[in-house]
Amino acid sequence: MNELIQMLPKAELHMHIEGSLEPELMFKLAKRNGIELPHQSIDELKALYDFNNLQEFLDIYYQGCSVLQTEQDFYDLAWAYLKKAKEDHVVHTEIFYDPQSHTARGIPFEVAINGLYRAFDDAQEQMGISFHIIACFLRHLPEQDALDLYPEILKHRDKILGIGLDSSEMGHPPEKYQQVFAQAKKDGFKVVAHAGEEGPAEYVKQAIELLQVDRIDHGNRCLDDEILTAQIAHKGLALTVCPLSNLKLKVVQDLVDHPIKKMLKKGLMATINSDDPAYFGGYVNENYRQLAAAVGLTEDEIFTLVENSFKASFLPDSIKEIHLKALH
Kindly list the catalytic residues: 197
Residue 276 interacting with ligand HPA (CB under 6 A) = yes
Nearest-10 crossing angle of helices 23-33, 71-87 = 160
Is 42 within 8 Å of 278 (Cβ atoms)? no
State the nearest-atom distance from the C-beta of 98 to ligand HPA, in Å. 7
Cα(115)–Cα(120) distance, rounded to whole angstroms? 9
State the nearest-atom distance from the C-beta of 261 to Zn ion, in Å. 22
Residue 94 interacting with Zn ion (CB under 5 A) = no
Residue 220 interacting with ligand HPA (CB under 6 A) = no
State the nearest-atom distance from the C-beta of 102 to ligand HPA, in Å. 13
Residue 94 interacting with ligand HPA (CB under 6 A) = no
Is 276 within any annotated ligand binding site? yes
Sort 213 into a burial class: Cβ within 10 Å, 0-12 / 13-18 / 19+: buried
Measured from the CB atom, the residue of 10 and 248 that comes closer to ligand HPA is 248
- State the binding partner of 117 from Zn ion, ligand HPA, none, CB within 5 to 8 A by kind: none
Is 43 within any annotated ligand binding site? no
- State the binding partner of 286 from ligand HPA, Zn ion, none, CB within 5 to 8 A by kind: none
Is 110 within 8 Å of 95 (Cβ atoms)? no
* Binding residues vs Zn ion (CB under 5 A): 275
* Binding residues vs ligand HPA (CB under 6 A): 16, 19, 54, 61, 166-167, 194, 197, 245, 275-276
Annotated binding site for Zn(2+): 14, 16, 194, 275
Annotated binding site: 14, 16, 194, 275-276
